Amino acid sequence: MESRGPFSDLGVSGQLELTFYNDRLMAAQFMPNESERYFKLLSEQLGKLPEATGKKKQISADVSLSYYRDADGSVRFYWDYLPVSKEWNNWVGKYSSMFLSQSNRSS
């Protein structure tokens, strides 16, 4: 399940998207209106962020942060709650392989 809406963090407004798995927060994605300013503010608060997009920075034992640049130049910051995302990945791995093995039998 996903929930989206306007949000402000560190004084920068944008859009927040929350992703839930089994009614628990799995990921938060923030698309700030002023991505360069937000990047600088976030770096000041959390320490230097990776220069390459997609690289994860561990910000606590259970949370990693990464960011991605879209083709239009906008930036998405992505917080991943590792215990829940690991559970989801295990579920996907288990049931997608089951689905693939069933579809191969019917071919």
- Rg of the chain in Å (alpha carbons): 17
pLDDT at res. 95: 81
Percent residues over pLDDT 90 in the chain: 59
Share the mean pLDDT of the chain.
88
Asked if residue 1 has pLDDT above 80, the reply is: no
What does the block give as tokens for 12? 């920068």
Amino acid letter for position 49 = L
Q: How far apart are CA 46 and CA 85, in angstroms?
A: 22
pLDDT at res. 74: 87
pTM to 2 decimal places? 0.80
Taking a C-beta distance cutoff of 8 angstroms, is the pair 49, 43 a contact?
yes
- Across residues 59-83, what is the average pLDDT? 92
Domain ranges of the chain: 2-105
pLDDT at res. 88: 82
Asked if residue 37 has pLDDT above 70, the reply is: yes
Closest CA to 70 of 19, 29, 18, 99: 29
